[in-house]
Copies of this chain bind each other. A is one copy, B any other.
Amino acid sequence: MRPRRRETPKTGANESASRSVRYRNLVNPFEPTRIFSDDQIESIHATALGMLERQGMRVLSPRGRAALAAAGAKVDDSTQMVYVEPGMVAEALKTVPAEVELVARNPARSCRVGGRHVVFAPVAGPPSVSDLTGGKRTGSLEEYRNFVRLSQAYDVIHVNGQMVEPQDAPLPERHLQTSLAQLSLSDKAPYFYCRGTAQLADCFEMARIAHGIDEATFRSKPVCYTICNTNSPLQLDIPMTEGILEFAANGQLVIVTPFTLAGAMAPITIAGALTLAHAEALLGITLTQVVRPGTPVMYGSFTSNVDMKSGSPAFGTPEYTKAAFGAGQLARRIGVPWRCSSATASNAPDAQSAYESQMSLWGALLGGCHFILHSAGWLEGGLTASYEKFILDIEMLQMFAEIFQPVTTSADDLAVEAVVEAGIGGHFFATAHTMQRYRDAFYTPLVSDWRNYGAWSDDGAKTATERAGAVARRTLESFQTPALDPAIEEALKDFVARRRSEGGAPPVS
């Protein structure tokens, strides 16, 4: 059917809308979508347990192997192999918290992980950044700070991240600089990379300074998070294992994420890739609970497929969406909060980047995901943090936040009297029902342009990507650094200066 365009209402409805964008504590009201039957899930779970028991997993860190051996795993130090029985996994799963509060230095920014709650985290890991005006370039500390500012500026982003690799910061002090940026330019919970115990000691100390808490208090509540990736198939490297050990020992939030690309480092079938990922995640989760029962931990999933023509990883594919639905079921099967991602293989922040990210997001959110990493800014398969994509993603996330809001059905909502007032064939622009509500009835978009073709053309016929770039620039120009006790800020800076003068801490590989 053809929609009818209407004139601007004469009711004052052309005043600026003012719907709240305080999307701080999101609750997903939808029943998770299932792709597997219960029997299929049992089959995958049992097969993964069998894999851990019989094929085992290589754990490169001697400390990691020792911790698992002490809890009953069969360990062969000569091959670095660890074999875990199903009973040991089941025991560990018993102590995983179903829900946990990730505490930010500003209590209003704390967020809940698990249950029906949804946390959006920005992109992590890209070596490069890009925008339409400056093109693609190597990541720098100033670009890193910009993305911290963007992540801080939008309430729909709930935690900090590692949005781009600041390659102008020397490796031994990069963790100091990025932690300082996260803790001073933002009041949301930070993401610390696992690049060795020494770096983590610095990061944890900075978190304690930012919160003004002692070690015991720090250990009692998670105030930061990390991602520990397995090296599929069936391997856990030294920095990731040490990350699990340190985060667990300190009661901080660990997200164990196998990165399983079907057809490359995982079986080419979705069920096979999920089975392998499940086995690896189970081992990582088990290790967290062995170190310290009750450690807040998430079941991370990142199963996609490669392009069999080029060998490149693909994201936001149909297989990716299906794997997300399946991973959500597996996470619920073992009762562990679930982390998934928004991702795209697109090289440009264009229509492909939007539909692939949407396919990822719907897979995650209808799949019942609790924590969506890479939910803003991811481009080029994760190799670039894009300013425009960041803002396009914020628009999508805010739309999801709105979809989560309940639809009320009081007599007043059903609006029988408004229909009478409008009259047969009439319109609702000026009804009392509309007048009471028009200012904030609907989501007000950040990027989407709903004007008619003429108005849009006269204004330069800009694409959504171009408009998103302008929004990013405006957001940075108007950025307000969140309040931070000057003494704390000083202490953070002193700490960074001291540790830099001491040479920092080189990353472990």
Q: Identify the A interface with B (CB < 8 A).
A: 1-9, 13-14, 16-17, 29-31, 33-36, 40, 43-44, 47, 50-51, 55, 57-58, 81, 124-127, 136, 227, 229, 231, 233-235, 257, 259, 261-272, 275-276, 302, 305-314, 317-319, 321-322, 326, 345-359, 362, 366, 373, 380-384, 392, 395-396, 399-400, 402-403, 407-409, 412-416, 418-420, 422-429, 431, 433-434, 437-439, 441-443, 445, 447-453, 455-457, 461, 463-465, 468
Contacts and interface: CB of A to CB of B under 8 A. Distances in A.
Contacts of A55: 416, 419-420, 424
A429 B261 CA distance: 11
A261 B422 CA distance: 14
Contact of A413 (B7, B29, B272): B272
Given A125-B2, A272-B418, A262 B451 contact: no
Contact of A359 (B5, B322, B358, B461): B358
Nearest to A323: B407
Given A259-B3, A266-B428, A268-B441, A275 B414 contact: yes
A314 B429 CA distance: 15
A50 B416 contact: yes
Nearest to A6: B311
Given A319-B442, A351-B351, A354-B354, A235 B267 contact: no
A448 B43 CA distance: 34
Nearest to A382: B3
A267 B407 CA distance: 14
Nearest to A42: B409
Contacts of A351: 349-351, 353-354, 392, 463-465, 468
B257 A419 contact: no
A52 to B, nearest CB: 11
B461 A259 contact: no
A302 B287 CA distance: 51
A428 B346 contact: no
A425 B231 contact: yes
A327 B40 CA distance: 32
A159 B235 CA distance: 50
A169 B172 CA distance: 73
Given A233-B424, A425-B233, A272 B395 contact: no
Contact of A309 (B14, B127, B306): B14
